[in-house]
Structure 1
Amino acid sequence: MTGLRSTPGGQRTLARRAAGFYYNPIAGTSPGTYQPDQNGAGTVTHTALLASAAVTGNPLTWTLVHPSTKIRHGVDRDMDGVWDFTDGDAELDLTLFLEGPMNGSVMRSDLKTADLLPAADPYGQGNTASQALLARAGTNAPVDWVMVQLRNNASPTTVVDEMAAMVLANGKVVMANGESPLYFADAPRGQYRVAAWHRNHLAAMTATSTQLGTGVSSVNFGDPALSMYGTEPRRILGGIAVLWAGDVDGNGTLRYTGQDNDRDPILTRIGGMVPTNSVTGYHPEDVNLDGVVRYVGAANDRDPILQGIGGTVPTLTRTEQLP
């Protein structure tokens, strides 16, 4: 699949993501908790557990894991053997809407219905959707994968943690296992800007920070009143704010004509010669996310690009609003 970006357009810095371990206090019993390698030295020391093991003689079992794996159990930052809010893990209840599949106040889940929605995320994060999540229907049905970032408030080009997650038809964003809120294992308690984007929609970011790590904090990108970074970072449809559709090549800019435009790849995808052709599949050229790439006719994927730049002057462009 061409044109799938792992990061939004523009420059940004990704903060170091520490590796970590799952520990099991007593081998063979209940699952343990995730403990991060905070300084990246490749060593984790858990004083409380080591002391317990020395007294009881029970062995400790450790497994090296990717930091975003099984983060539902949290990060034991104070190393007391208990995961709780004192550890300050960032938890985010996020709602967002994509322009492409919008249908009234909800989004269509055509990719899921047509069995085109991949279980593996397209952003290279290594996340896999659970079968239970992929089987959901109605307003709880999965629409597509999105990327969510927590950015440093003082330096919003710096990404502290990020996650490939699934947006549902009702706008709720859930983790790959279907659970919400989103748990960010590498983001300690603090103030963060929230950014989000989709593989063929422009990214957007909050203009002000949100306190995370003291409970479950909610951010609704669908609320037109939410303060956002930049100028016109979202489109308003029927009172709902949505991410702009049509960034087919994933470069952070909507273009209808000229070099690096987003229209030509649609024609190329359907064969490049006969504009009435169509192609079914999971493709970035499928701007409206109905599972079919069309260049002309009803529900074509070319018109939303022109509408996104104003609808009348084809040489205009629209750039995503990120620092």
Structure 2
Amino acid sequence: MEAQLINPNFEDGLWGWTSPCGDQAELSTDVPTHGGAYSLRIRARNTTSTPCVMVEDPDAPLLPDIFAYQPLPMAVAGDVVTLTVTARMEVAVPDQWGYGIRGDFIAILSDSSLTALPGGQHGFPAQTTWNSGTGSFTVPPLPAGAVLGVALSGHMFGLGEGYALFDNVMTSITGSGAALNARVWLGGPYVPAQNLMRDDLRAGGYLPSSDPFPLNPLPDVLPPGALSATGPNAIVDWLRIELRHTIPGVGWLIRVNGSLQRDGDIVALDGVSPLSFPVKAGNYLLVVRYRNHLSIMTQQAVSISTASPLVDLRSTATALHTLPAPNTDLPAKVVGNQQFMWPGNVAYDLEVAYAGLGNDRDPILGAVGGSVPTNTITGYQETDVNLDGVVKYTGSDNDRDIILQTVGSSVPTTVRHVQVP
């Protein structure tokens, strides 16, 4: 299964990658076909270079020290990891002995404790034009506390000078994959008398066939028959699910779209199947995002496998992450022993506000026309907080009051902050 690296194409700068040698790793606009806008450019070390960090290497005197690396914490002993890169050499001063481009599997204890693994060194085509190469590696038992990592480097065998360029860095891990078994409540469309969420958007024919998320949409479409179910398994709307590493500061691993059923089940876009991830089974932090509710994240890593235990985000027994002071807030609305994602994030930012600059109330008034607050509009709208297919600023079942309830009706100037870092 794919083990998605963070920022494998370097379109988000060097985010996700660590370079112990600082500015010796940089972005370049020299890219291969289908390589996007940027590639990674690393100075190729020659025999006169002074190492900026020592890497223990059982197979060679020294791992080329000017490199970028990234952990693969989901890989464990016995896994077969395949690394594919597109690379080329940029030669500034020719080297009579030649040059090389490498991808190394390393054990990472910390940024100052890196160990090259026996048999983990792979040479890639060292040519001045872009070429792709692949290498596979069986993960050995790692030192206590260490995780597997992938390191990229270039080197000159003599006194030459140049750079190694990398793009489209992909990894895969043999394994059975992972599927999510989780449930969640959205606070906006929840109907207490039914203990279900409403599916008015589906029933009204308003649900879009492609990804509706306003930021970073994914190239997904609903398959035929995805909205045919009725009753508790009827589809409420699209949902964005994110898995994160448990290593502090590493960030998200993969994002996928799923569908949300009325009873809270998170399923695949076909509306029925378990939501699967192209990652190896393991323990991950789980993030749930919805287009006009505040996102939530589990406090502890949850098990994702082919037979995942239920993660019931509807229950207060499932702890949710909170940010440290001064940004600490309730991560979800709590009623009895149930919890609900906070509704009203119409602006799709990091907070719900009823008053003040950038509040979430005014867009509802603007959507219905502004001058006549009793107007309504129908359809698939960000301002439809209760998901009934109708945007209302005033009157019964209006969307404005839900925002006031989220921030706390007694103090309307209160702001509710998302608790996902």
| TM-score bracket, shorter-length normalisation | 0.7 to 0.9
Asked if structure 1 preserves the Cα contact closer than 8 Å seen for 2:258 and 2:266, the reply is yes
Q: Deviations over 1:203-232 (max 9, x none)?
A: 000000113236323211101110110142
SS of equivalent residue, structure 2 residue 254: strand
2: CA distance, partners of 1:312 / 1:177: 42
State how 1:298-317 maps to structure 2 within 5 Å.
298-317=396-415
Residue 15 of structure 1 aligns with an amino acid whose one-letter code is I
2:189 is equivalent to residue 91 of structure 1: no
**Relative to 1, partners in 2 of residues 1:293 and 1:127: Cα closer, same or farther, differing over 3 Å?**
same
CA distance in 1, matches of 2:180, 2:133: 29
Structure 1 distance, partners of 2:387, 2:297, is 22
What are the equivalent positions in structure 2 for 1:1-323 lying under 5 Å apart? 15-16=6-7, 38-41=83-86, 77-78=173-174, 87-104=175-192, 105-123=195-213, 124-155=217-248, 158-185=251-278, 187-213=279-305, 215-230=307-322, 231-237=329-335, 239-323=337-421
Give secondary structure in 2 for the equivalent of 1:131.
coil
- Contact 2:83/2:172 (CA < 8 Å) preserved in 1? no
Partners of 1:208 and 1:301 in 2: CA distance = 33
**Normalised TM-score (structure 2):** 0.57
Q: Could you list the per-position Cα deviations for residues 127-176 of structure 1 after superposition, in whole angstroms to 9, with x for gaps in the alignment?
A: 11123221111111100111100011122661101111110101011111
Instruction: Indicate the SS of the match to 2:212.
Output: coil
Query: What is the CA–CA distance in structure 2 between the aligned matches of 1:143 and 1:156, rounded to whole Å?
Result: 33
Counterparts of 1:44 and 1:109 in 2: how far apart (Å)? 47
Q: Classify the secondary structure of the residue corresponding to 1:146.
A: strand
Cα distance change of structure 1 residues 241 and 40 upon mapping to structure 2, 3 Å threshold: farther
Percentage of matched positions with identical amino acids:
34
Alignment partner of 1:139: what SS? helix
- DSSP 3-state at the match of 1:207: coil
Bigger helix share = 1
Runs of at least 5 residues in structure 2 that lack an aligned partner in the other structure: 10-80, 87-131, 137-170, 323-328
If asked which structure has higher relative contact order (CA below 8 Å, sep 6+), I would say 1
- Shift of the alpha carbon at 1:191? 1.9
| CA pair 238-292 structure 1, distance change in 2 beyond 3 A | farther
Residue 177 of structure 1 aligns to a residue whose secondary structure is coil
Q: 1:208 to 1:266 in 2, by over 3 A?
A: same
Given the two structures, how large is their TM-score scaled by the length of structure 1? 0.74
Which amino acid is 1:16 matched to?
N
Structure 2 distance, partners of 1:179, 1:37, is 32
Pairs aligned (count):
258
1:15-62 C-alpha deviation (Å, 9 max, x unpaired): 2368xxxxxxxxxxxxxxxxx97444355679xxxxxxxxxxxxxxxx
* Structure of larger gyration radius: 2
Q: Secondary structure at the match of 1:303?
A: helix
